[in-house]
Amino acid sequence: MKTISIDNSYDVTLLRAGDAVELTGVIYTARDAAHKRFVEAADEGLPLPIDIRGAAIYYAGPTPARSGEIIGSCGPTTSARMDDYAPRLLDMGLKIMIGKGKRSPAVIEAMKRNGAVYLIAVGGAAALIKSRITACEEVAYPDLGCEAVRRLTVSRLPLLVAIDSQGNNILV
C-alpha cells in the first residue's frame, strides 16, 4: 500500500495502475453541475472557487451530516458523468480524480498529457469512506445542495489506481 500526502505535492506519476493507495490531505467534492460551472468560469476568464492546480477531486455528493457527525454518506459517483469537463480541468492542472467506473478516451489522453491519475473508491463502502473524513467545509455553489463543492480533509482514505499517468488502465 502506497501512502499519498496531497499536502506534500506527491508525484502522482510514480503511481501505477493497480496500486493500492491511502490518501491523506485535502480533496474536493464536485459532480457534473459543479464541473460545468468550473469550465464556464474558465471560459469567461473568471477564477475558479478552488485552486485546481495539483488538486484532487472526489466525484461525490455527500448527504447532510446527522447531529454530531462531520459528514453524511459520501460514496463515489459514476465518473463518466464528468467526462465532458474533465479534460479541460486536467489541462488546468487537476492531478487526481476519484470516483467509480470507466473513463472516456479523451479523459485518458488528457491524463497522459498532464501527468494525472484516476483513483477508484469502492462503491457501497460509504461508511468506510465517511470514517476517513476528518473535516468538511462547503466552499462553493451552495445552491447545488448535496452537489455543492466541499473541501474534505481525509486521513488514509483507501483507493485503487485505476488509470495511471501513462494511460495504463485496469478497467478495460
- Report the distance separating Cα 108 and Cα 112, nearest Å: 6
Classify residue 141 by burial, with Cβ atoms within 10 Å: 0-12, 13-18, 19+: middle
96-99 and 117-120 beta bridge pairing: parallel
Residues 6+ apart with CB under 8 A from 134: 70, 153, 154, 155
116: Cα separation from own chain's centroid: 11
Question: Which grid cell sits at 36?
Answer: 460545468
172 is catalytic: no
Alpha-helix runs per DSSP H in the chain: 32-43, 86-91, 105-114, 126-131
Catalytic residue among 12, 30, 32, 35: 35
CB 13 within 8 A of CB 115: yes
Supply the residues annotated as catalytic: 35
